[in-house]
Each structure stands twice: as C-alpha cells, then as structure tokens.
Amino acid sequence: MKKLCHIDEIDNHNSKGFDFHGQLLFAVRQQDNVYVYRNSCPHLGIQLEWLPDRFLDVEGELIQCSTHGALFTIDEGLCISGPCSGQSLQAVDHEVRDQEIYVALD
C-alpha cells in the first residue's frame, strides 16, 4: 500500500483528482469514508472531470462524467444513468489509517 494523501486534503462531500505515479485516480470523501476510482469513464475511457477536482454533480450526490453526463453512485461507482448505464468505474483498493489514505497500487 502506498500513501495517496491525508484525508483532509479532500474537502468533505467533495472530490479530488490525482496523478499517482502516472495513474489517473480520483477520490470522493463523505465524512470518514473515502472512495477511490480510476479516472476513466467506462463509456469512452476518458477522464471524467469538467474542472480540476470536480467529479460530482451539483448536488454532490453522484459522480458525473463531464462529457456525456453519465451518473455513478459514489459508494459503488455503478453507472445508473447515461450511455454506460449498468457499467462501473474501476474501484481502487485502499484503506484509511491514521487519517492517511493508502492505495494498493505501485
């Protein structure tokens, strides 16, 4: 496991993008829960955000792809609306220890 960042580097109920040793990821924080995915939309395999660190819809309740508006659940990364409906984001194994987020990536 390698350190991604301190949990406080992600605002609560918000998201943040990372270039982790050349691998594009993003994380969403909800209180003490953190969800980490590869920054690749299952529709076309391109990055999701419309602005740096902006991966959520306006309500902050779903992950939204900026290109064609696909919506994904935050906790499972399942696409519930859009051209890749039924597909999922690629989750990244991770854990939070002492307020630090670690990912199972090289």
Distance in Å, CB of 28 to ligand FES, minimum: 16
* Cβ closest to ligand FES, residue 16 vs residue 43: 43
Which amino acid is it at 27?
A
Could you list the beta-strand ranges (E) of the chain.
Answer: 2-6, 14-20, 23-30, 33-38, 62-64, 71-73, 79-81, 94-97, 100-103
In the bound complex, what is the minimum distance in angstroms from residue 48's beta carbon to ligand FES? 6
Give the residue with the Cβ less far from ligand FES, 85 or 102.
85
Taking CA atoms, 33 is separated from 2, 7, 51, 80, 99, in Å, by 18, 9, 23, 21, 11
Q: Which is nearer to ligand FES, 77 or 82 (CB)?
A: 82
Interface residue list for ligand FES (CB under 6 A):
41, 43-44, 46, 65, 67-68, 70, 82-84
Q: Cβ closer to ligand FES: 2 or 68?
A: 68
Minimum CB–partner distance for residue 23 and ligand FES (Å):
19
